[in-house]
Amino acid sequence: MIKLAITGCCGRMGQRILTLAKKDKDFSVVALFEREGHPDIDKIIDGVKIASDLSLLKGADVFIDFTLPEPTERNVEACLKTKTKMVIGTTGLAKDQCKKIEKASHKIAIVQSANMSVGVNIFFKLAKLLGEKTGPNYNVRIVEAHHIHKKDAPSGTAKTLAQIIESAKGIKITDIQSIREGEIVGDHDVIFQSDVDIITIRHHAKTRDIFAEGALVAAKFVSKKKSGLYDTQDVLGLK
C-alpha cells in the first residue's frame, strides 16, 4: 500500500484527490497539509490531522502537490529531506524553480506535469502528430479557457501544447488566447489553418476529477521509481 501525503488538501483539487484516494485500496492517506495559518489547520479528516509542518512528511511514500510555485519550491526541499517521492501538478513555475525540481529528481523520483489528465495527454500526442504532418502553409493558434480563480495565463497546458507543436513544426507559436470566466474547469482548442482547410482539436474537462485521477495514476507510477524526472507521457507510456 502506498502511503500518501496531500498538500492543499482543503482546496478544490486537494479535496478531489483525497476523496478518490480514500476509495482506492492501493493508497493509505497518512498526511494532509495546508498553508500556515489556514483555518482548517488541526482539523481531523478520517483520523489524519491537517498540518503545516512539513517535517510530518517523514514516512510518506508519495507527496502530491497542486498548489502555487513558491509553496511547491519549499515542498521540494522538504521532500528531499524526508526522501519522499513527488507528483507535482503546480503550474506557473519559473525556470529557476523547474531547475530546482530537475536537480531534486537526481535524488528522488518526481512526476511533474502541467496536466495530469489521461485525456489531455492523448490530446498532446494528437497535437504532436498534427505538428509533424501539417506543412508550413498552416498557421497555428491556441485558445484556452479556465475559471476566474486561475492565477496563471496562458495555462500550463496551453504552454505545453505550444512547446510540443513548436518542436514538431520548427516554428514559434505566438497566438495563444486566454479566457478567464465563471467556473470553467478547463477547455483547450488547437487550430491549424491553411488557405484550403481548418483542422481543430479540442479537449473539454467536465470535472476536476480527470486531474485527480491522473495524479493518483502518477503516484502509483512514481512509487516504483527510485529517482528521475518524469511526466504524464512517461506515466502513460506515450513516448
188 catalytic? Reply is no
Catalytic residue selected from 146, 169, 188, 203: 146
Catalytic residue selected from 3, 58, 150, 225: 150
SS3 115: coil
71 cis-preceded (ω within 30 degrees of 0): no
Instruction: Report residue 236 CA to chain centroid gap.
Output: 14
Instruction: Confirm if 89 and 152 have CB atoms less than 8 A apart.
Output: no
147 catalytic? Reply is no
How many C-alpha atoms does 32 have within 13 Å on its Cβ side? 24
Identify which of 42, 3, 43 has the alpha carbon closest to the alpha carbon of residue 26.
3
Query: Known catalytic residues?
Result: 146, 150
